[in-house]
Amino acid sequence: MLCASVRTVRRLSLLCVLSLTVATPNVLAQDQRNATGEYGVVVSRSVEASNVGAAILEQGGNAVDAAIATGFALAVTYPSAGNIGGGGFMLVHPSDGRDPAFVDYREKAPLASTEDMYIDGGSRKNHRWVGVPGTVAGFVLAHEQFGTLPWEDLVMPSVRLAEDGFVLKSLAQGLNRAVERSENDEFKRVYGKGGGTQLWQASDRLVLSDLGSTLRRIARWGNDGFYVGETADLLVTEMVRGDGYITQNDLSSYAAFIREPIRTTFRGNEIFSAPPPSSGGIALTIMLGILENFDLKSKGRWSPETMHLIIESMRRAYADRARYLGDSDFVEIPVHLTTKGYARELAASIDPRHATMSEKLGPRLTEVEESQETTHYSVIDRTGMAVSNTYTLEQGYGSGVVVTGAGFLLNNEMGDFNRNPGVTNRQGSIGTSANLIVAEKRMLSSMTPTIAVRDGKVVMVTGSPGGRTIINTVLNVTLNILEFEMSLRDAVDAPRLNMQWFPDRVGFQGFDDPVFSDLVKQLTVMGHRVTSGGGGDANSILVKDGLFIGAADNQNGGASAARR
């Protein structure tokens, strides 16, 4: 029996929630959001980008090759978050016995940055909020360490997409809204139909010639096609035009890094996730460590006891996130945060019948809100090598600034720093030191690319966009698969909850079905303030019975299987 997914409100019927049956591969293959294969799977927010990645696998490329190609294609087909002008993180689990590796290509603060440079706030849709981009350097480093196909072969598919164009389909409506709101003339020229004087239709084709030329330079010269030469000159000229901070020195000195992933275990599985400057892996480790002390499966996935424990684990992890986490190259991260002993202490602090008041876990720290406009994609190849990649421009379409003559969007990631040194109040300011602005520092992130491994073999690849909700989305999906043994489709489509310590409320997404009304009432009696909301777009992969099963979260997402 197959459960139908209703993604618009993430609603499952009572039958679907309780049965949790596994859909058959031949049914999955009929839905562009689903793919099953023996030779590899790519799952992203864009059908075209997923197809590009799958084609690389079919040509003999490995998972990193496919991830790079998919990332460049998303810069064309999903411009609100796919990018070459932003940054992010790539988690790689090789299949040849090498240790997992984490490629950090997060944006960094320009050399001219000061800790009080944004104390007056203001709109982030301009040149002054742009961090030094890292995506191209990150992909180049990943290719140097793990790639197999020639670099040019990985970039040229995106060149063709940009220069030949692609049919907009569901992107048309979003572009029309973005163009209408934009105050950037180059954005309107590049992304507006008729320079913004007409409305895009779903059947229209978008051609991005300038972006195609930039991607050609990257295809030919790698980092030198972006961080020096013509592209860099165009970017610096754009900064001068808009009074931005990035200089040629900022670009030429940018470097991506290989870091050691955060590692933990849960129910016999090894979990690998993101280290600082992302908060994702540490927070996920804290939550899983707490929950491992309880038999959630026997309580039931949708019981008030299970939901209460998950909420309380989130509350405690996010409290520590606000207190301690930042770029570990600049701040010292307490080592006890990821230990099982600390998790047991936190588990013991949970009242099984009553919600903890968030104030009891420390002084109120309302953090800078991260945009939900990020994107995540997952890849696995025929050998079992896996990649979990999350990258972003920060807000939708980033700063809204298109580099004149180069055709790509710039991020506005500087807004992810704490902007008011020493000022922490109930009005929303946070001035704690771990995430204050320092030149060349990387801003704290919630991105949580995650891979689960059992007996040395990958069993799950996941991650999500969603700002600070990212970590909780990954926790929900991870528990659904590893604790409650759901099928991948059900695990991704299931209702989600989100608690971030402050504000002291629980966001529920997909719990408006009447079957959950008693659950919400019981949680309210426990003292939880329940509201709507959740977030996330968990494009994921499950390995089961020798098959690679991919599930794109969003209705408009794409999952493609490589075929031989």
What DSSP designation does 402 have?
A: B
Residue 153: burial class (beta carbons within 10 Å; 0-12, 13-18, 19+): middle
Q: What is the dihedral of CA 450, 454, 456, 457, to 10 degrees?
A: -70
Radius of gyration, alpha carbons of the chain: 22
Instruction: Dihedral sign for Cα 165, 390, 94, 28, please.
Output: negative
Q: How far apart are CA 169 and CA 149, in angstroms?
A: 31
Q: How far apart are CA 157 and CA 152, in angstroms?
A: 9
Q: How far apart are CA 477 and CA 475, in angstroms?
A: 6
374 carries an active-site annotation: yes
Strand blocks (E) in 20-147: 34-37, 40-44, 87-93, 101-105
Give the closest residue to 435 by CA, choosing from 329, 316, 336: 329
Q: How far apart are CA 267 and CA 260, in angstroms?
A: 22
Beta-sheet strand order (sheet of 506-509): 496-498, 506-509, 530-532
Q: Which of 374, 390, 424, 478 is catalytic?
A: 374
Q: Which segments of 222-349 does DSSP mark as H helices, in order?
A: 229-241, 248-252, 280-291, 296-299, 304-324, 340-348
Token pair listed for 453: 């491994």
**Nearby residues of 53 by Cβ (< 8 Å), 6 or more positions away:** 42, 44, 66, 67, 69, 70, 73, 377, 379, 560
Token pair listed for 63: 């998972």
Q: Which segments of 165-228 does DSSP mark as H helices, in order?
A: 171-181, 185-191, 209-221
**Is the omega angle on the peptide bond into residue 277 within 30 degrees of 0, that is, cis?**
yes
Give the closest residue to 146 by CA, choosing from 93, 83, 87: 93
In this structure, the chain runs to a length of: 564
Q: Please provide residue 37's backbone torsions phi and psi, each rounded to the nearest 5 degrees.
A: -160, 170
Give the closest residue to 128 by CA, choosing from 281, 238, 258: 238
Q: How far apart are CA 393 and CA 74, in angstroms?
A: 12
Q: Please state whether beta strands 506-509 and 530-532 pair in parallel, antiparallel, or not at all (unpaired).
A: parallel
Q: How far apart are CA 272 and CA 424, in angstroms?
A: 33
What DSSP designation does 422 have?
A: T
Give the closest residue to 310 by CA, choosing from 559, 102, 483, 127: 483
- Residues tagged active-site: 374
